[in-house]
Chains A and B, each alone.
Chain A
Amino acid sequence: MRNITKTFPGVVALDSVNLEITEGEIHALVGENGAGKSTLMNVLSGIYPFGEYTGEILFEDKLCKFNHIKDSENKGIVIIHQELALVPYLSIGENMFLGNERGSYLNIDWDEAYTKADSLLKMVGLKESSRMLIKDIGVGKQQLVEIAKALAKNVKLLILDEPTASLNETDSRKLLDLLLEFKKQGMTSIIISHKINEVSYVADRITIIRDGAVIKTLDKRTDTFTDDDIISGMVGRSLVDRFPKRNHTIGDVTFEVKNWTVYHPIFEGRKVCDNVSFNLRKGEVVGISGLMGAGRTELAMSLFGKSYGVDISGETYINGQLVHLNSVKQAIAHKIAYVTEDRKGNGLILSTPICENTTMARMSKISKFNILDRDLEVQVAEEFAAKLNTKCTSVMQNTGNLSGGNQQKVLLAKWMFADPEILILDEPTRGIDVGAKYEIYCIINQLVEEGKTVLFISSEMPEILGISDRIYVMNEGKMVAELDQKNATQEAIMTHILQSGKGVE
């Protein structure tokens, strides 16, 4: 891949990236969240069609112009995404040949499909029958089915995006060994991973990407991989003074969570939060750092009226008193607010105006006996729009027509209107520009100066370091470290994550 540049509106995601993969090697791509690894792989596999990026892709010395994921698959390039693309209620065999059916268009040859599927399953070391349903096998095995599915497409170059993110140690090891096995048979693969120990175990070469550019490539034959090399390559970014200062005093503990355990709602027996304990103080910004899939959002949502997960156990205390937050209503009544990371999916109603969104979490404040005072509603919405500097033609404008940053402000306004004491902000700056980010930081400062408590979840490390008084590090559903502002550095956080990931299990 030569000089690949890909821009999204307002952001340069990839900046003249060059990447060379040699036949028969396992090449690892490492980098922070948002560094551009997945974007690069999406370009390579044709998810972003030719013309949406600049640069050239050469495969087996031929220039490729992929318009569609099918084009790259025909060449033997197969990508396996982090989120598995399997249909739970179809059988393993049906999933493996989805979009690649055996037989003819009007007459699928299921006998051939299942026979072929069984032999491919054996190759990846699965003993299950290909007639079993996907939902009945575990995640680790599902990942192997994905690989078998790729094999069914005569794969030459296999791309795995965080294949072990949801696997435990044994399953991960099995999968990595399988990759090494395929390498012996001549297959080339690219593996995207956060876990340095896995990468050093399996990769021949490692390319480090940061901020959309290749930092360096390490070769197993000439370099020795050390954690430090890789981490400093991934992180090495200077902290610019992008964060407003604040004057505030930190008070007593307002919110405390003890032994919080949450199970995954679909995959039975999988813990997404494992015995988590933490506390928040009045007037404090506490960050939760961690990689994607570490369980931060799941933790926040499960605390917010058990909006996520099943079999939740543990205790929550507000101002030292044991409280039960069994529904969102109760959580709001206890003055907790959860500002979701997915503002379009879970936060706002895009088809309704700003004013209706603003008051939604606490309509009792603008109504008497359930009768709304629409004029009052418009007035308070205007107050918040002015206070947060929301850019809109009027508060009657539909939220769907606002930019991401302004939508985020409406979402913040909605929860500030609910008068919370404890705000959980989940990735409040995701996908918004630098200016709007600064404004959001200012709002956070203002909130804590007013004596509120903010729990700040972010995947961007500079941000979390810049804004937090105290940082918890979360990995694989567990709290693995608690750092003061003084001791917190990107290296320290990364080291805690990586060490915990190394498998003390």
Chain B
Amino acid sequence: MAHTLGVKNTLKKNTMLIALVVVMFLFQFLIVSFNKGSLFNPANISNIISQNAYVVILASGMLLCILTGGNIDLSVGSIVSLVGAIAGTMIVTMGMNIYVGMAIALLCGIAIGAWQGFWIAYIRIPPFIVTLAGMLLWRGLAMTILNGLTISPFPDNYLKYFTSYLPGDANATTIFNITMIVSFVVCGLFIVLQILDRITKKKKGYDVEPMVFMIIKVVIISVVVLLIGWFLAQHKGIPVVLILLTVIVLVYSYFTKKTVPGRHLYALGGNEKAAKLSGIDTNKVLFFAYTNMGFLSAVAALASIARFNSAFPAAGTNYELDAIGSCFIGGASAYGGTGTVGGAIVGAIFMGVLNNGMSILGIDANWQKSVKGIVLLAAVVFDILSKKRAKAK
């Protein structure tokens, strides 16, 4: 009985993941039947990853803001543009050392986030208004700095940190072998960590999930990792940006799940009064969420100027909407208090696959937007309806 409940719950928790797989195969079916190649083409998989890097980075930060009570940050696209402009000016125009340039760019992001966080958390101006103002302000500053022009190209030693592939220049066989070895090592590491966790839990006398569950989980995740590795191995190897993404996702996932300040985010969004009466400094939590958003926007800016190999005034347009959409598709509540980094990432990949699949099919760009809009609404409607039904039971 407990096991069947477990299966049901696991499925329920991962509905978006299942939807993602379904959508992927649907596109694959359509693409193949229209004879337009394949979604699961090694080059395309690699492409999806580098195309959507910015969404994943921004969605991780946006989730923290949304957790605090459904608060969104509308300014991230403009921050990406501004920080990109600053970095471009420093690195390309002024020829500054790239490490110093990157550090200053990140500091600028933190400062911008702190500025917005201050108004939101301590003066309690609604985030919507503060970030709307920021959206105009930062975009305006970016245009002023760039004077309406594009800065390019960036030096290779900068680009290599975001757009190159590991192991780099080598023949196809070496790339394949090394990529596969890395994939196996990642899988092995994952399995070892799972087993170690299980052992410590047992030692301390805590409940552990059924063995079967753990094996299924480990097998599925390992297969996915190996598959992605196999695809990447056939193209150019592991994109450097994928490593950056993995680090960000792991760090923020851990932060929200397993740390005290992470828990505070959920408490604030779930019930601010209760959080306050439990001795949580809710202002500080809110301030942190927005400062962090500024920081991650700067990271996304560094990645995106590398991807386009230029800093231009219109950079980052609509990025905020992609990030917000990913979080909501990934099951974050529009009222705050629920949502996971993992969910937001699934949402981001979902949007990415949608974009990519439609592009391959040659669907008109205007139609693509409409489809994305419908999908976003459908995801949130589905989420709310299923929660309502759960309550009725």
Contacts and interface: CB of A to CB of B under 8 A. Distances in A.
A346 B276 CA distance: 9
Interface stretch (A24-32, A359-367, A450-458): A359-367
Contacts of A379: 206
B258 A346 contact: no
B279 A371 contact: no
A298 to B, nearest CB: 14
A421 interface: no
Interface in B262-314: 262-263, 266-267, 270-271, 273-281
B366 interface: no
B276 A328 contact: yes
B337 A372 contact: no
Contacts of A364: 260
Nearest to A366: B260
The prevalent SS among residues of A at the interface is helix
28 contacts: A307-B277, A328-B277, A328-B278, A329-B281, A332-B279, A340-B274, A340-B277, A345-B274, A346-B273, A347-B274, A349-B337, A351-B270, A351-B333, A356-B263, A356-B266, A356-B267, A360-B274, A360-B278, A370-B260, A370-B261, A371-B259, A372-B257, A372-B258, A374-B258, A375-B201, A376-B204, A378-B207, A379-B206
A485 interface: no
Given A332-B279, A360-B274, A374-B258, 8 more contacts: A328-B278, A328-B279, A351-B333, A352-B337, A372-B260, A374-B257, A375-B201, A378-B206
Q: Which of A346, A349, A374, A375 has the most CB of B within 10 A?
A: A349
Nearest to B205: A379
Interface size for chain A: under 10, 10 to 19, 20 to 34, or 35 or more residues? 20 to 34
Contacts of B204: 375-376
Interface in A300-340: 304-305, 307, 327-329, 331-332, 338, 340
Given A329-B281, A352-B337, A374-B258, A363 B263 contact: yes
Q: Which of A328, A338, A360, A363 has the most CB of B within 10 A?
A: A360
Interface of A: 304-305, 307, 327-329, 331-332, 338, 340, 345-352, 356, 360-361, 363-364, 367, 370-372, 374-376, 378-379, 401, 414
A372 B264 CA distance: 12
B338 interface: yes
A444 B159 CA distance: 66
A361 B258 contact: no
A327 B260 contact: no
B247 to A, nearest CB: 18
B266 A349 contact: yes
A109 to B, nearest CB: 34
A385 B167 CA distance: 54
Nearest to B262: A372
A338 B259 CA distance: 25
Nearest to A415: B278
A346 B274 contact: yes
A115 B166 CA distance: 80
A347 B294 CA distance: 32
B207 A348 contact: no
The prevalent SS among residues of B at the interface is helix
A172 B234 CA distance: 86
Contacts of A360: 263, 267, 274-275, 278, 280
Interface string B314-339: 00000000000000000001000110
B259 A372 contact: yes
B277 A347 contact: yes
B271 to A, nearest CB: 5
Nearest to A332: B279
A379 B337 CA distance: 23
A265 to B, nearest CB: 14
A349 B275 contact: yes
Contacts of B259: 367, 370-372
A348 B270 CA distance: 9
A367 B260 contact: yes
B279 A352 contact: no
Q: Which of B258, B278, B338 has the most CB of A within 10 A?
A: B278
A305 B279 CA distance: 9
Contacts of A305: 279
A371 B277 contact: no
Q: Which of B204, B259, B267, B270 has the most CB of A within 10 A?
A: B270
Nearest to B336: A351
Please provide the 5 A-B residue pairs with the shortest distance between their CB atoms, ordered closest to farther. A349-B270, A328-B279, A329-B279, A361-B278, A375-B206
Contacts of A340: 274, 277
Nearest to A359: B263
Interface string B374-393: 00000000000000000100
A372 B257 CA distance: 8
A348 B338 CA distance: 15
Q: Which of A305, A346, A374, A376 has the most CB of B within 10 A?
A: A346
A345 to B, nearest CB: 6
B39 to A, nearest CB: 36
A419 B294 CA distance: 38
A350 B333 CA distance: 13
Nearest to A396: B9
Contacts of B279: 305, 327-329, 331-332, 361
B63 to A, nearest CB: 15
A379 B204 CA distance: 10
Contact of B267 (A327, A346, A349, A375): A349
Contacts of B258: 371-372, 374
A345 B270 CA distance: 10
A305 B281 CA distance: 12
A364 B257 CA distance: 15
A348 B273 CA distance: 9
Contacts of B338: 351-352
B206 A352 contact: no
A347 B263 CA distance: 16
A367 B280 CA distance: 15
Nearest to B276: A328
A414 B280 CA distance: 14
